[in-house]
Amino acid sequence: MNHFLKDKLFWVLLILLAITLLSWQIFFSVGFEAKTTGILLLVFAFVKVQIIISQYMELNNAILPIRVTFWLWTIAVAGISIGMYGR
């Protein structure tokens, strides 16, 4: 157990699972209006995406143009998806 608690990758997994559970909770119980629920779920999804890219894919080890491009991808795709959905 100690071995896992010292492992940064394990903490990343726990955070990702926590966000997933939070999304689940929002989806099933919290009584927001439909569009708000949808937007929140998408925001959480893209936060998870960026965590995977930066922590598991270790984006920081790549050269600068790649780091910029992948950040842009997340922001642009999140923005456009949420924008198209929220209209």
* Binds other proteins (CB under 8 A): choice among 25, 30, 62, 75: 62
For residue 47, what are the CA distances in angstroms to 1, 4, 5, 24?
27, 23, 23, 15
Quick one: which of 26, 75, 70 has its CA closest to 46?
75
Q: Tell me: does residue 56 bind other proteins (CB under 8 A).
A: yes
Alpha-carbon span 44 to 33, nearest angstrom = 17
Which residues here bind other proteins, judged by CB under 8 A? 7, 9-10, 12-13, 16-17, 20, 23-24, 27, 34-35, 37-38, 41-42, 44-46, 48-49, 52-53, 55-58, 61-63, 66, 69-70, 73, 76-77, 80-81, 84-85, 87
